[in-house]
Amino acid sequence: MALLDINHISYQVGAARIIDDLCLAIQDSEVHVALLGTNGTGKSTLAYLIVGCESYRPAAGTIVLAGRDISGLHIHERARLGITMAWQEPVRFEAISVAHYLTLGNKELDPELYLNMVGLQPALYLSRMVDSSLSGGERKRIELTSILALQLKIAILG
Ligand X SMILES: Nc1ncnc2c1ncn2[C@@H]1O[C@H](COP(=O)(O)OP(=O)(O)OP(=O)(O)O)[C@@H](O)[C@H]1O
Q: Which residues bind Mg ion (CB under 5 A)?
A: 44
Spatial distance between the Cα atoms of 27 and 38, rounded to a whole number of angstroms = 25
CB of 125 to Mg ion, least distance (A): 27
Contact 45, 11 (CB under 8 A): yes
Is there binding between residue 109 and ligand X (CB under 6 A)? no
Is there binding between residue 18 and ligand X (CB under 6 A)? yes
Best CA proximity match to 126, nearest among 108, 138, 112, 137 = 112
Q: Contacting ligand X (CB under 6 A), which of 15, 34, 40, 107? A: 40
Is there binding between residue 12 and ligand X (CB under 6 A)? no
Distances (CA, A) of 92 to 107, 129, 139: 21, 9, 7
CB of 33 to ligand X, least distance (A): 16
Q: Which does 67 bind (CB under 5 to 8 A by kind): Mg ion, ligand X, none?
A: none
| Listed ranges 35-43, 62-70, 76-84, 144-152: which one lies at the site for ligand X (CB under 6 A) | 35-43
Is there binding between residue 29 and ligand X (CB under 6 A)? no
Spatial distance between the Cα atoms of 153 and 131, rounded to a whole number of angstroms = 28
Q: What are phi and psi of 39, to 5 degrees?
A: -55, 130
8-state DSSP, 152: -
| Listed ranges 32-40, 75-83, 98-106, 138-146: which one lies at the site for ligand X (CB under 6 A) | 32-40
